[in-house]
Amino acid sequence: MGRSICVIGIVVSLFTGVLQGQGRFEIRAAATTPVSGWQQMSMPGRGGPLWVSPTNQLTTIDVERIEPARQPDGRAAVTVVLTDAGAKKMAEFSAAQIGQPIAMLLDGAVIWAPIVRGVIPKEGLLTGGPNGLTPDEVQRLLAILK
């Protein structure tokens, strides 16, 4: 169905959502070596630090729809479909980040930092990386990005 599994990486801000204390989701540019002005954070599922950009690339305004999904192995995931404008921003951003990690943050903590392997399309599957998303993370993402 044109669904792409986003196994990507460089820390970049994709969505920022603050819904009355429910939290926020962000995707930002990232690096595995120090970058002046970027915040050092830990990278779940991998050893070593990650430096995360303070700049968001997209916001919740760029999200057309979000829904719960399953990975092929049955683990929980979230499908995100971007607006046409959001998809254009993400395509440009991901093209510039190929070979680099992106950081996906939930409430200010990195939950996944995949490496960008190609241009990210209009629709993606947020899997949470090797450890997957917990049911709580799925529910929080759905609440924040709706």
The per-residue pLDDT for 14 is: 33
What's the rounded Cα separation, in Å, for the pair 101 and 19? 27
Return the half-sphere exposure (C-beta side, CA atoms, 13 A cut-off) of residue 39. 14
What is the predicted pLDDT for the residue at 85?
94
Q: Give 10-residue mean pLDDT values along the chain (146 residues).
A: 32 30 72 94 77 86 89 90 93 91 82 84 83 83 77
**Of the candidates 58, 67, 64, 72, which has an alpha carbon nearest to the alpha carbon of residue 104?**
58
Q: Residue 107 has what pLDDT?
A: 78
β-bridge partners, 105: 26, 110
3-state secondary structure of 33: coil
- The C-alpha atoms of residue 8 and residue 112 are separated, in whole angstroms, by 10
pLDDT, position 108: 83
pLDDT of residue 21: 37
Fold that domain 25-145 belongs to in CATH: Gyrase A; domain 2 (3.30.1360)
pLDDT for the residue 11: 23
